[in-house]
Amino acid sequence: MIECFVLKLVTGISLMWLMMPRKEVTDGFFRIQMLVALGLCVLLVLTVRPLSEAQDTNSDADVLNPSVMTSGTGTQAGTKFIRIAQIVAAVIAFAGHIVWKLGRRLPGAIAIYSVATLCLSSVVTDSCASGLNFDSVQLLLSDLASSAVLGATLTAMLLGHWYLTTPTMSIGPLSWFTKALAFAAVGRLLMTCISFGRFGFASHDLVHLLWLIVRIVGGILVPFATALVVARILRYRNTQSATGVLFAALILVFMGEMTAALLERDLRIPY
């Protein structure tokens, strides 16, 4: 479960690097971002394991709704690919940290594209472990939506902190993240609605119901509301207040996605 969350987080961060207006952001921000990615990639390498092994340590995960939708880190071969990809991504992130520190933006951009490609291929491998079918495509789109919400929230919060060291930097990139976060929340809502439309809520357990509420509030409603609030705050160029809102939202988003991971583990459905 932890490895799936970390994989979505590092993938979301790297995708935000690709899409954000990098020219308006100073080199130091990406230097630190590379270290964040390095730590997450190493953590993923240490925690990733095959789905069968994960089920052995959590044997009651199959009881409520067996095989509705495969989740986890898939087969032994898929797990090996993810581990190798993340080792390579960690090495590239370390090299990227150095080149961004030296102010070499072209090699830094190559490092960003490389890390993003490796992380995205790891998500595809994880989601399509059971083969290419409607369920695996839905799981992949659901994982990408979650990655976008996690990546947009965390990267926007860290960018907001970066304005403390470079207060003269344009607020354009932070404003861009409010739009990205809103779109990510809408995408996450769409994928959750698809899961409800196909499977309903496959449990009558009160704990699962509470997890679902936390998932919807923290993973969907909070990101969308945060995007609206931060956009209004940035009209007054108050980056410190915007960063505080993003920091509070990040905690709730993490809670929402972790409870979603718990639901997926127990019910085999990516709500």
Rounded Cα distance between 119 and 53, Å, is: 22
pTM: predicted TM-score of the whole model, two decimal places = 0.90
- 3 against 152, higher pLDDT: 152
Q: Which residues of 215-247 are buried (b: 16+ CB within 10 A; e: fewer)?
A: bbebbbebbbbbbebbbebbeeeebeebbebbe
DSSP string, 48-73: ---HHHHHHTSGGGGSSSTTSS--SS
Distance CA 160, CA 16 (A): 14
Q: pLDDT, tens digit, for every residue of 102-159?
A: 999 999 999 999 999 999 999 999 988 877 888 899 999 999 999 999 999 999 999 9
Q: Give the pLDDT confidence score for residue 190 in this predicted structure.
A: 97
Q: Radius of gyration of the chain from Cα atoms?
A: 18
**Backbone angles phi and psi of 197, in degrees to 5:** -65, -35
pLDDT digits (tens, 9 = 90+) for 151-184: 999 999 999 999 998 988 999 999 999 999 999 9
Tell me, letter by letter, the H, E, C secondary structure of 151-218: HHHHHHHHHHHHCCCCCCCCCHHHHHHHHHHHHHHHHHHHHHHHHHHHHCCCCCCHHHHHHHHHHHHH
Go through the chain and tell me how many residues it has: 271
pLDDT at 269 over 60: yes
